[in-house]
Amino acid sequence: MEQGFLDRGLKKTVDWRLIVVYLIIMLFGWINIYAAVRSGEPSSIFDLSFNCGKQALWIAGAIVIAAMILFVINPFTWESICKPAYGIVLVLLVAVIFLSSNVKGSHSWFELGPVKFQPAELSKITTSLLLSYVMSLPGFKISKWNHLLLALAIVLLPMLVIVAESETGSALVYVGFIFVLYREGLSGWWIALMGIAILLFIVTLKTSWWVSLVLTAVFVVIYLVYYLRRVGSLRFRRAVIRNGILGFVAGVMLVFATDVFFNSVLKDYQRERIEVVLGIKEDLRGVGYNVHQSLIAIGSGGLFGKGYLHGTQTTFGFVPEQSTDFIFCTVGEEWGFVGCLFVIALYGLLIFWLIQDAERARVHFTRIYGYCVAACFFMHLAINIGMTLGLMPVIGIPLPLFSYGGSSLWAFTVLLFIFVALDRQEKKYF
């Protein structure tokens, strides 16, 4: 290790681009939290009775953690502890259901005196590690059913427990792992089928069941025409026809299950949130109120925004969860379209460079893990900003590294820096 360190120094082995983007996102988030929580009398950004002051402490802690992962902890540790870590976090996830206090209807927070943390945050890390470990084992082939099932089980297990914690939003992030599986050879049909299922769900709710049925039929016909036009063996043709019929039956079942799922399985508030997003229900004072206030705040920002600390919508507390889930409103209002573009570009670059580094990695574990990290960032980004823009139902998950909150900030720091450390290892030896 010493040898490698001498050969290729920090400057060349660490991907500084990621670290710079990381720091910018975190600090920009911090000053926006200050803008969001400051109310009435002026106060210092370090005032510990406000979220912004506390965030300063969290950020300091995050930087210490990042440095530890980068310089102190042996990067090979992660691969070796992934199994017990996954197990422990899974136990914590289950335990929190019984031991936690009820925060807005969900049982997902551990409270240790003044410190609160969500095991669901840790679980993103351990799930990514174990998934990368399993999928990088020699002989792993995603085309084999049992291998695919194992990979799915690793993702679905924590996901289901989190749903049981009534944290459906956090669970949704795990859907992102399908992109990792896709990268490692899962058929693109899976993603297509998922997309079609979501489309049918929406169409059924927005119009009516028979429109969905027609749509299903159209999809099946397209599929059949596309494949049957090609020249193929009889067996191939039979398989295509069988798939087509199965697909149609599944589509019909989905359409009718939608009704049951929507009206019986979902809780009232979840149903309402979806109805508001789909425009089925106008509700400016209840559920839709948050989104409407959020849109007013963002919309009033215009091209260049009202200027830092000059927002009028956000400082009055009309937007709920100002410093956490709806922090993007502050950016929209005070920094305008330009500021939003800046933030989205930062995340875009972060994810792009993550994928780029992952693709360059020679160790499969590093590559797969890099994709996992990218997927987590992507899902959070898309869901959170989509929510503030009214494109997604109100799902309470933070904007990574940006929103107020220690447990989320630290978890994303660990998630990201494990990759930076692994990636550094690549460059040190090859």
User: Nearer Cβ to other proteins, position 48 or 99?
Assistant: 48
Shortest spacing between CB 215 and other proteins, in angstroms: 21
Shortest spacing between CB 210 and other proteins, in angstroms: 29
User: Nearer Cβ to other proteins, position 123 or 132?
Assistant: 132
**Exposed/middle/buried for residue 195 (C-beta within 10 Å: 0-12, 13-18, 19+):** exposed
Shortest spacing between CB 382 and other proteins, in angstroms: 5
d(CA 57, CA 410): 11
Residue 354: name the closest of 8, 12, 9, 21 by CA.
21
Shortest spacing between CB 81 and other proteins, in angstroms: 28
Structure tokens at 276: 């508001």
Residue 25: name the closest of 346, 394, 348, 395 by CA.
346
**What is the binding site for other proteins (CB under 8 A)?**
38-42, 49-50, 179, 182-183, 188, 284-285, 292-293, 295-296, 298-303, 306, 309-312, 315-318, 332, 336-337, 340-341, 344, 347-348, 351-352, 355, 359, 378, 382, 385-386, 389, 391
Do the Cβ atoms of 334 and 298 come closer than 8 Å? no
User: Nearer Cβ to other proteins, position 159 or 186?
Assistant: 186
Do the Cβ atoms of 120 and 108 come closer than 8 Å? yes
User: Nearer Cβ to other proteins, position 47 or 61?
Assistant: 47
User: Nearer Cβ to other proteins, position 119 or 311?
Assistant: 311
Do the Cβ atoms of 255 and 243 come closer than 8 Å? no
Shortest spacing between CB 353 and other proteins, in angstroms: 11
Q: How far is CA 418 from CA 125, 128, 216, 412, 429, in A?
A: 9, 11, 43, 10, 17
Shortest spacing between CB 231 and other proteins, in angstroms: 23
User: Could you give phi then psi for residue 117, rounded to 5 degrees?
Assistant: -145, 155
Q: Report the half-sphere exposure of 388 (CA within 13 A, side-chain side).
A: 31
User: Nearer Cβ to other proteins, position 38 or 428?
Assistant: 38
Residue 343: name the closest of 121, 26, 18, 15 by CA.
26
User: Nearer Cβ to other proteins, position 86 or 371?
Assistant: 371
